[in-house]
Amino acid sequence: MKNIIVLISIVLFSSFSSSLFAQENNFIEEYLERLENSRKYLILVAETMPKGKYNFKATPESMSFSENLMHIGWAMDWHSQSLIGGREARDWNTDTELKVDNKSKEEMIDKIDETFSKTIELISNFDINKLDERLDYFGSNRTKRQILLLLADHITHHRGQMLVYLRLNGLKPPRYVLYQ
């Protein structure tokens, strides 16, 4: 009788844990699909703004179009490579790789595309068992899963500002790309 109970317990635990594993793996697959669509749409937005308007600001205290674009790259690098991947964070005061810093429109778009590629690669190889690990996020205790969701929100937030900048310059934004 004891052997039957142990056997049933093992079978139930195995089916439960494999179900959780599949759910976490689905989360990563769905997140990567979303991130790839987000990349495509952000690049379309960046290509739509003429290079002569990349310094446009809605208000003096706002970030410019180019600053919003590169800020997305900086935050993507920090959220993925540093928070999720464990790499030491870039020094905002000295590192210019993900800042506007005299970059042309084409160089900024290439840098954003490269940053998306690095982020997608890191997340593709991420150990899904670490999604529940917790980190300090500006004083809040967040899981790595929540960090990924915050990254997606952050991209959307700044891309939304860029879309408004297109409209303020009389430009029609590219058609919205679903699921991103």
pLDDT per residue over 89-104, tens digit each? 999 899 999 999 999 9
CATH T-level topology, domain 27-168? Four Helix Bundle (Hemerythrin (Met), subunit A) (1.20.120)
pLDDT in tens, 15-58: 554 444 445 689 999 999 999 999 999 999 999 999 999 999 99
> Which residues are CB-contacts of 135 (< 8 A; sequence separation ≥ 6)?
83, 141, 142, 143, 144, 147
pLDDT in tens, 131-163: 999 999 999 999 999 999 999 999 999 999 999
pTM score of the predicted model: 0.85
**Other beta carbons within 10 Å of 80:** 24
pLDDT of res. 6: 59
The pLDDT score that the predictor gives to residue 21 is 44
pLDDT digit string, tens, across residues 59-87: 999 999 999 999 999 999 999 999 999 99
Three-state SS at 85: coil
Cα(26)–Cα(22) distance, integer angstroms = 6
* Sequence ranges of the domains in the chain: 27-168
| Residue 78: half-sphere exposure toward Cβ, Cα within 13 Å | 19
- Kindly list the distances between the CA atom of residue 25 and the CA atoms of 43, 66, 115, 131, in Å, as whole numbers in the listed order: 27, 35, 23, 10
